[in-house]
Amino acid sequence: ACEFKKYRPETVAKALDYGKAVHQLFAGIETEKDINDALFHAQSTGLLSQKETREIEKIILRLFKLELVKKWFGVGGKKYLERELIDENGKILRPDRVVISDDSSVSVIDYKTGNIGPEEIKKYTRQVMNYINAIKNTGYQNVKGFVLSIDAEKVIQINPD
């Protein structure tokens, strides 16, 4: 039960605004040391209110206790945030975060807000699998996909059907 939810209206438009705000916030966090600067920027530009900033900071700090999240936002490897990929059909894809570890394994992470039920999992699996396949087409073979559920504060590994 995330405290932040009670501060944001549950209308579709507001939920979309919240999702966009969270994506913008996370796009400013390359490593864990960037959290405070990203939160300050989000609040000073009006992306988040002071109250929302305090609540999302609590969520972020809890998320960063998860082992995979620590790894993705650690100092090692290469990180690509909101970078475009092109699939074999020429379609432009934009995963939220791609981390290439020092051993050349790749993690593709997509941030999601809101409730994630079975239908959303199907949709997100297709989306993340498209990212995985596009990265594999560049020569990387050890590629794993994940959804970072901000509101549920958990990592969901995406597996092919």
**33-61, pLDDT tens digit by residue?**
999 999 999 999 999 899 999 999 999 99
Q: What is the pLDDT of residues 62-91, one digit of tens each?
A: 999 999 999 999 988 999 999 999 999 999
* Amino acid type, 87: D
The answer to whether the CB of 59 falls within 8 A of the CB of 150 is yes
What is the model's pLDDT at position 5? Answer: 43
Instruction: With beta carbons less than 8 A apart as the criterion, state whether 104 and 140 touch.
Output: yes
Cα 89 to Cα 74: distance, rounded to the nearest angstrom? 33
Q: Whole-model pTM?
A: 0.86
Between 16 and 115, the higher pLDDT residue = 115
pLDDT over 90, % of the chain: 79
Q: Are 96 and 71 in contact (CB under 8 A)?
A: no
Whole-angstrom Cα distance, residue 135 to residue 141?
Answer: 8
Give the three-state DSSP class for 55.
Answer: helix
Q: Which amino acid is at 13?
A: A
